[in-house]
Amino acid sequence: MVRHGGGRGWHGRVLAAALGVTAVAAATSVWTAQADPAGERHARPGVTARPATPAAGAQGSARAGVPQSIVHASDRGPRGVNITIDDGPDPVWTPQVLQVLRDNGVKATFCMVGPQAQAHPDLVKAVVAAGHRLCDHSVSHDTGMDHKAQSYQSQQITDAERMITEASGGVRPVYYRAPGGAFTPYSRALAASHGMRPLGWNVDSKDFERPGTAAIVATVQQEISNGPTILFHDAGGDRSQTVAALRQVLPWLKQQGYSFGFPAVR
């Protein structure tokens, strides 16, 4: 798992919105995560993440038994795949992504940035109504948050959780995905204590770079053997290539014998 995310303009808009908000308030798979001293930014087959040691401010045991380890596996087993959609919701692109998913009978996990969810509660509710799952993707989408204080990490995670839950009408995020994979043992323990499984990815479609629809499709086809969790985006700029790629990728995955599920919670 490598760092990913939008350009400076996207991050600046999200950070500005976040500052405004926080001023007012705060299973069957071998794919696992590799930790590194600066965070937990990588994923490769067969390498297990070190256990997190809960730090001050994080509960020692996860609520309802949610593990602190970063999940990559699908609840549909070895031939299951997880479609994950990051950085929204967006009023232009999220409805189009939802339509493609609906057309193909696929459920996905939407990793939402808190202020985006707060600004578009109708879209959050539409995601939930369609049977998809919610994921906390922080307040500011700060890909360097693994180098920040624990109090900052806590604010980023718990404020976004609250914003998403309120926007959805009470449906809470099932997962937490650190921006750019910037997990720490503390953030994983905190997320798990709030009932959110830390969520990684195995296949980065590179759609954020807008390399062209054919390139996005080819990346997924070439890298699906890396693991079941595929990363796409529905915000942060023009996502027309993502929408077009999903129209091709979802039927192709079905043709290869894959089924669609959600990241394993336990």
- Domains by residue range for the chain, with CATH: 69-261 (3.20.20.370)
The answer to whether the CB of 198 falls within 8 A of the CB of 176 is yes
Phi, psi of 5 (to 5 degrees): 150, 180
DSSP designation for 179:
G
Task: Write out the two tokens for 234.
Answer: 């529905």
**Cα–Cα distance for residue pair 252/24, rounded to 1 Å:** 46
Query: Known catalytic residues?
Result: 86, 233
Task: Write out the two tokens for 110.
Answer: 């939407």
Residue located via tokens 């380890």: 69
Collapsing DSSP to helix, strand or coil, 210 comes out as: coil
The pTM of the full predicted model, rounded to 2 decimals, is 0.81
The helix or strand, by DSSP H or E, that contains position 174, with its residue range, turns out to be none
The answer to whether the CB of 228 falls within 8 A of the CB of 193 is no
Strand partners, 5: none
Q: What is the DSSP string of 42-83?
A: EEEET-PPPPP---TTS-SS-GGG--SSPB--BTT-TTEEEE
Task: Write out the two tokens for 185.
Answer: 């043992």
Q: Could you read off the pLDDT tens digit of each residue along the chain, which spans 266 residues?
A: 445 544 334 444 444 444 443 333 333 232 333 333 233 553 333 323 334 434 333 333 345 689 999 999 999 999 999 999 999 999 999 999 999 999 999 999 999 999 999 999 999 999 999 999 999 999 999 999 999 999 999 999 999 999 999 999 999 999 999 999 999 999 999 999 999 999 999 999 999 999 999 999 999 999 999 999 999 999 999 999 999 999 999 999 999 999 999 999 99
pLDDT for residue 56: 34
Strands 259-261 and 80-86: parallel
Task: Write out the two tokens for 240.
Answer: 């027309």
pLDDT for residue 10: 44
The answer to whether the CB of 85 falls within 8 A of the CB of 117 is no
**Cα–Cα distance for residue pair 145/153, rounded to 1 Å:** 6
**Cα–Cα distance for residue pair 84/231, rounded to 1 Å:** 5
pLDDT for residue 63: 53
With the C-alpha atoms ordered 78, 180, 242, 94, is the resulting torsion angle positive or negative? positive
**Cα–Cα distance for residue pair 142/172, rounded to 1 Å:** 22
**Cα–Cα distance for residue pair 243/16, rounded to 1 Å:** 27
Residues constituting the chain: 266
